[in-house]
């Protein structure tokens, strides 16, 4: 006891002070909001569903960060651009023409599948090219180097797509079959949100089974643990890393379609903020862990949607809905300070830290 008291230094004191003030602030805001009771239960359910839908996209994108981190211990900051490239291409070449010809609303299922496939393939193609050109030559370089390259690749891809498709915001056509509402838990929610959530669950389960059960999935996990030994088993490490990028990018490509369905617009810069949010989600869940990315994404989505009204409404903060990005990145900083291994993550071993 005596020794422990002595060991509490200045920094610990500051950290404890931050922890306590955050808890007090959040609790105070929450209680004030609940006493004030500004929204009915319906609205809270709607906030949650909205958050789940948004969180689904974060989860899908976060998978890419976590997979690549798992095998290379590198944060691929160009991942948001993989997300953007797929849906930009699919919007310009598929969704736009299909909508103009009326085919989209006559055959919504085929059209959406076509958009999905094109978006995923484009994202995968961009990811494989980026890995091959920008990352593979630096495999043996110090870890800071690929990180900087990733930032460069991100900007390069943004402005390449701006050059290809222009800088203006492009509308993504409304799919009439999905424009309605359905009742859920006594309230009405948008059909698109439901589609987003269901599609995400299917894809996450599919990805998880792929990584856990298939030979390639096991090879990815083997490479994540030890590249030399994986090579001794006959696993082509470079190819497996490329497959890992492709898997993450396919999820990002799918997330792009869901994003377009909900927000109905795409542009060359659209990957930046969702990319950063998904990175936050991956860290939140525990980077390197697939269930962590899923949990982190959903949690972040709900937190972003429910958090501002719940914590800030009662404190009479004006225009608190615009503060969701502030809340997200505050959360990122707090997680990095207080729980760097994330929600479900294991404590990082010396080797990886």
Applying CB under 8 A, the residues found at the interface with other proteins are 215, 218-219, 221-222, 225-226, 228-237
Minimum distance of other proteins from residue 76's CB (angstroms) = 22
- Residue closer to other proteins, measured from CB, 12 or 226: 226
Residue with Cβ nearer other proteins (154 or 289): 289
Q: Which is nearer to other proteins, 141 or 202 (CB)?
A: 141
Minimum CB distance to other proteins smaller for 96 or for 217: 217
Give me the least distance between CB of 303 and other proteins, in Å please: 29
What is the nearest approach in angstroms of other proteins to the Cβ of residue 224?
A: 8
What is the end-to-end Cα distance of the chain in Å, rounded?
30
Identity of the residue, 186 or 234, whose beta carbon is nearer to other proteins in the bound complex = 234
* CA pair distance 142, 345, nearest whole angstrom: 25
Shortest distance, CB of residue 134 to other proteins, whole angstroms? 22
**Of 219 and 262, which CB lies nearer to other proteins in the complex structure?**
219
- Give the residue with the Cβ less far from other proteins, 230 or 252: 230
In this structure, what token pair is assigned to residue 142? 């110090």
CA distance linking residue 196 with residue 179, whole number of Å: 13
Closest distance between other proteins and the C-beta of residue 84, in Å?
Answer: 33
CB of 221 to other proteins, least distance (A): 6
Neighbours of 93 (CB within 10 A): 14
Closest approach of other proteins to the CB of residue 239, in Å:
9
The residue (of 51 and 288) whose beta carbon lies closer to other proteins is 288
- Using alpha carbons, select from 57, 122, 84 the residue that is nearest to residue 277: 57
CB of 233 to other proteins, least distance (A): 5
């Amino acid at each position: 006891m005596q020794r422990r008291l002595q060991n509490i230094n200045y920094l610990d004191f500051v950290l404890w002070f931050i922890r306590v003030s955050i808890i007090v602030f959040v609790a105070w805001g929450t209680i004030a909001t609940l006493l004030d009771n500004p929204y009915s239960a319906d609205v809270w359910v709607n906030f949650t569903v909205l958050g789940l839908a948004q969180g689904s996209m974060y989860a899908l994108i976060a998978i890419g960060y976590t997979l690549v981190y798992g095998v290379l211990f590198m944060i691929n900051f160009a991942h948001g651009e993989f997300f953007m490239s797929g849906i930009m291409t699919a919007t310009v070449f598929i969704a736009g023409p299909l909508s103009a010809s009326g085919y989209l609303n006559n055959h919504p299922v085929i059209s959406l599948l076509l958009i999905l496939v094109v978006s995923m393939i484009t994202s995968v193609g961009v990811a494989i090219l980026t890995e091959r050109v920008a990352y593979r030559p630096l495999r043996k370089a110090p870890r800071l180097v690929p990180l900087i390259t990733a930032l460069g690749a991100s900007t390069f891809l943004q402005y390449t797509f701006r050059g290809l498709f222009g800088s203006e915001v492009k509308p993504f056509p409304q799919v009439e079959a999905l424009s309605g509402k359905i009742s859920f838990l006594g309230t009405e929610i948008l059909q698109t949100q439901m589609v987003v959530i269901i599609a995400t669950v299917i894809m996450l389960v599919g990805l998880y089974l792929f990584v856990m059960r298939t030979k390639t999935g096991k090879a990815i996990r083997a490479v994540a643990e030890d590249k030399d030994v994986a090579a001794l088993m006959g696993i082509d490490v470079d190819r497996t890393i490329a497959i890992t990028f492709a898997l993450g990018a396919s999820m990002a490509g799918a997330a792009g379609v869901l994003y377009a369905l909900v927000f109905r617009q795409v542009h060359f810069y659209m990957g930046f903020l969702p990319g950063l949010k998904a990175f936050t989600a991956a860290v939140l869940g525990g980077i390197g862990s697939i269930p962590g990315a899923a949990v982190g994404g959903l949690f972040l989505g709900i937190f972003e949607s429910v958090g501002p009204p719940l914590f800030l409404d009662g404190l009479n903060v004006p225009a608190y809905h615009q503060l969701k990005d502030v809340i997200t990145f505050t959360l990122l900083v707090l997680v990095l300070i207080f729980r760097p291994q994330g929600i479900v993550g294991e404590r990082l071993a010396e080797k990886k830290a």
